[in-house]
Chain A
Amino acid sequence: MNSLLLLLIGLAMLAGGYLLYSKFLGERVYRLDPAYATPAHQMTDGVDYVPTNKFVLWGHHFTSVAGAAPIVGPAIAVIWGWLPAFLWVTLGTVFFAGMHDLGALWASARNRGQSIGMLSGRYIGPRGRNLFLVVIFLLLLMVIAAFAVVIKDLLISTPSAVIPAWGAILVALVVGQMIYRWRMNLAVTTVLGVTALYALILVGDRFPIELPDPILGVSPATFWIVALFAYAGIASLLPVWVLLQPRDYINGVQLFIGLGVLYGAVLLSAPEIVAPAVNDSVPEGTPGMVPLLFVTIACGAISGFHGMVSSGTSSKQLDSETDARFVGYFGAVGEGLLALGAILAATAGFRTLADWEAVYSAFGQGGVGAFVDGGGAIVNAGLGLPTSLSATILATMAVLFAATTMDTGVRLLRFVVQEAGDVASVKVGKGLATAIVLVVSVGLTFSQGGGGAGGMRIWPLFGTTNQLLASLTLSIVAVILLRKRRNPWPALIPLAFVFVMSFYAAIVQLGDLYDASDWLLLGLDAVIIVAAVWVAVEAVLAMNKARTDPPEAADADLTHAEQSSGS
């Protein structure tokens, strides 16, 4: 199979999904109404509720949801062959993720821009809300721990990425100063910032940094993980304009450039895919494709995290309700494109099947390293950049994605700890909350030894938790559709599928973790399973009630909005 053909088929499927299925969803299921006054207009406050141009909003939405997960997941999952991963990414994006992200955006926009957590309180009950907090805590913890390990692995396997990855922090610091202190023009600053970042990539490629072993009495792996957590802690405590804001921005710009480079290279070089379509000789110890495929590729197919972004910020900025189709559905398509790029890089970027098999020698071995090496080879063939430079570009791209998600994760988890403190009537300060977050996540990362294996072993749990969150969101959408007496099947079918797969995966993992006497992860997994059963029962009860209760009045959203704002 030629990668260009696969790319074109993938693009056609995603385009078809956007042009046909999202049109059907928008007109028949969600009935997006251009005359509906969105929360951005109903409650404009210049802070959270601001009507925003749909292209800008799409950019925000897409860069917020695109972390390292759409690269890591598919790059690991191609161990079962490229076909299953390809099908799950394309069909998952079209029928699952698009439906889910658009649905979350619509449900939130129809409810004063409330988050999925608040909506679960209204539509499923207060227990649903508590459950949501537990799930979000675990999810953020896993993201932080897993991404620390992903970055550490990249810094060790691609030493040329060390300078650009850490130098990007310096670039972001300077960009922040240029904009806020020196009041420079943003467009000029952007060009200078991105140029500086690429100059650092050239420098890094010339001077790869390999740490001596041991360094300061610990292994390089331990050193990098500790350094990353120290960075994330400091970044989350600094004022946002100093580091996080310019860093996220430069990263967003780099995301668009990186995607362009990768797709351009595939178009120009069209390498053959060396990996098998379906791998029937998977390495020993590889878990079964069903259900693990469906939780290993979460972002890029369907991801509960998207619902949090859709309902957390994007819904409050929708200018017109009909924009939801572009922002929500096409945002999912953007993520699908990233995942598709990761599949191509990890299957077509090797010279022979033997090379590919050498990398995919065990489950979890391929991953982001395969994306960097394979993608590097494709960019080399397509654009003529030296292989090492191409690999450095892709490694820097992956590190930046993972690092921005990690530091934002530390910040968000700090808020969760502080909120939990409020609930318990204990005042938890910024510093203490950050310290708690760091201790818990460092503990989890090192729970399997100094190499930080604990962070990566929980990756399948991340998928399960994330998918559970997606089913929670879909169940809210289904309840709303049932209440309005609209066709609930576009939500119910993905809901049932995702729920069954994530539950099945969690049970399979429970057995594996018991065999491995891994009590920490066993405990976490048990919490997730209990939460899953809980969601299922609550959601079924809520749907049954929605079905039997009298239908919701056509203007129920508005009436509710007025009642709530009055209370």
Chain B
Amino acid sequence: MTRGAGLRARWRAFSEGLAEFYAGPYRRTFARAKREEDDLFTLVVLAEALGVPDPSAYHSAELVPALYPEFHAWHRRIGLDRSPLEHVGCC
């Protein structure tokens, strides 16, 4: 390894360590905040399907399939044991 490459590798390792030191203590808080945001997003996208009139449903409908993989975990998390949507029989 040349001297320049060695220095670059060290700098990268230092930067990564610094980033880790910055973010580490709050990793869990961020993950929780992200999940809450995702849950809210799911609720908004599925509003029409759940019976809440939504003027933007025409635009958000195409996002619905993207939510399916996480759908089961979502409805369990918000306190519904069974799928609230008839056409999604995840459980």
Contact = CB atoms under 8 A, between A and B. Distances in A.
Given A179-B22, A186-B22, A313-B25, A53 B15 contact: no
B19 interface: yes
Contacts of B27: 46-48, 50
Interface stretch (B29-37, B48-56, B57-65, B80-88): B29-37
Contacts of A248: 25
Contacts of A313: 25, 28
Contacts of B26: 240-241, 244-245
Interface stretch (A55-63, A515-523, A556-564): A55-63
B33 A56 contact: no
Contact of A59 (B21, B29, B30): B21
Interface string A229-249: 000000000011100110011
B21 A47 contact: no
Contact of B17 (A53, A241, A244): A53
B40 interface: no
Given A239-B33, A240-B30, A186 B24 contact: no
B32 to A, nearest CB: 9
Interface in A47-98: 47-48, 50, 52-53, 55-57, 59-60, 64
A404 B23 CA distance: 16
Tell me what chain B mostly uses at the interface: helix, strand, loop, or mixed: helix
A115 interface: no
Given A245-B22, A249-B22, A47 B17 contact: no
A60 B21 contact: yes
A57 B22 CA distance: 11
B24 A187 contact: no
Contacts of B30: 240-241
A56 B25 contact: no
A53 to B, nearest CB: 6
Interface in A317-343: 317
Contacts of A239: 33
B18 interface: yes
Nearest to A249: B22
Given A47-B28, A52-B24, A190 B18 contact: yes
B70 interface: no
B15 A186 contact: yes
A114 to B, nearest CB: 15
Interface centre among A47, A50, A179, A190 (most CB of B within 10 A): A47
A409 interface: no
Contact of B20 (A46, A56, A244, A245): A56
Contacts of B24: 50, 52, 56-57, 60, 317
Contacts of A317: 24
Interface string A245-272: 1001100100000000000000000000
Nearest to B15: A187
A241 B27 CA distance: 11
Contacts of A57: 24
A185 B19 CA distance: 9
A52 B23 CA distance: 12
Contacts of A244: 26
Contact of B18 (A60, A186, A245): A186
Nearest to A313: B25
Interface string A529-564: 000000000000000000000000000000000000
B16 to A, nearest CB: 8
A96 B40 CA distance: 48
A56 B21 contact: yes
Contacts of B28: 47-48, 313
A244 B29 CA distance: 11
A53 B24 CA distance: 11
B29 A252 contact: no
B27 to A, nearest CB: 6
Nearest to B18: A186
A29 B34 CA distance: 42
Contacts of A179: 22
B77 to A, nearest CB: 15
B6 to A, nearest CB: 18
A60 B19 contact: no
Contacts of A64: 25
Contact of A56 (B17, B29, B31): B17
Contacts of A241: 26, 30
Interface of A: 46-48, 50, 52-53, 55-57, 59-60, 64, 179, 185-187, 190, 239-241, 244-245, 248-249, 252, 313, 317
- The 9 nearest A-B residue pairs measured at CB: A47-B31, A56-B20, A245-B26, A240-B29, A249-B22, A59-B21, A56-B17, A56-B21, A48-B28
Interface of B: 14-15, 17-31, 33
Given A186-B19, A240-B26, A245-B26, 6 more contacts: A47-B27, A47-B28, A60-B24, A187-B18, A244-B26, A245-B23
